[in-house]
Amino acid sequence: MKIELRSNKDFWAGIMLIATGAASIFIARGYPFGSTMRMGPGYFPSVLGAILLLFGIYVMITGLRRGEKIAVRCSLRALIVLPLSLVAFGVLMTHAGFIPALVVLIFGSASAGRDVKFVEVLLLTVILTGLSVAVFIWGLGLPYPLIKGI
């Protein structure tokens, strides 16, 4: 019987857990382990990593046996656009100021949805940015320059 691995839910869950556990053990090797009586900083993460490894192997095997498929779908467009908008927000906050950062974030995330209407997104960006400036800068007094260099 050939099992489709690419969409096997528990197989990948197992892989994720095994990878997390293994990474934790690997990194914790660099910290003093200590003894059970005097635990070093490496003791707890190593033990947790080992437990995770075991859980991961179990989950992976169940996945191979059951072969349940991934049910939740993920829009690739949203998965790329939303995090990128956040990163852009972070960069612009340091270099360009509150307004440009927000405009890019709101415009970016709004266009991650389906049936995007340009005018609507533009209007939303303007309104939300104005609202945020009023609430966060004027209302709560957060100390961020609206636009850097002005």
Q: Which positions touch other proteins (CB under 8 A)?
A: 9-10, 12-13, 16-17, 20-21, 24, 27-28, 31-32, 35-41, 44-45, 48-49, 51-52, 55-56, 58-59, 62, 70-75, 78-79, 82-83, 85-87, 89-91, 93-94, 102, 105-106, 109-110, 112-116, 120, 124-125, 128, 132, 136, 140, 142
4-40 in b/e form (b: 16+ CB < 10 A) is eeeebbbbbbbbebbebbeebbeebeeeeeeeeeeee
Q: How far is the CB of 103 from other proteins (least distance, A)?
A: 10
The position carrying tokens 């839910």 is: 9
Q: How many Å apart are CA 66 and CA 149, to the nearest integer?
A: 60
Q: How many Å apart are CA 145 and CA 143, to the nearest integer?
A: 7
Query: Which is nearer to other proteins, 2 or 31 (by Cβ)?
Result: 31
Q: Under 8 Å CB-to-CB from 133, ≥6 apart: which residues?
A: 98, 99, 102, 146
Q: How far is the CB of 58 from other proteins (least distance, A)?
A: 6
Q: How far is the CB of 136 from other proteins (least distance, A)?
A: 6
Q: How far is the CB of 1 from other proteins (least distance, A)?
A: 22
Query: Which is nearer to other proteins, 2 or 73 (by Cβ)?
Result: 73
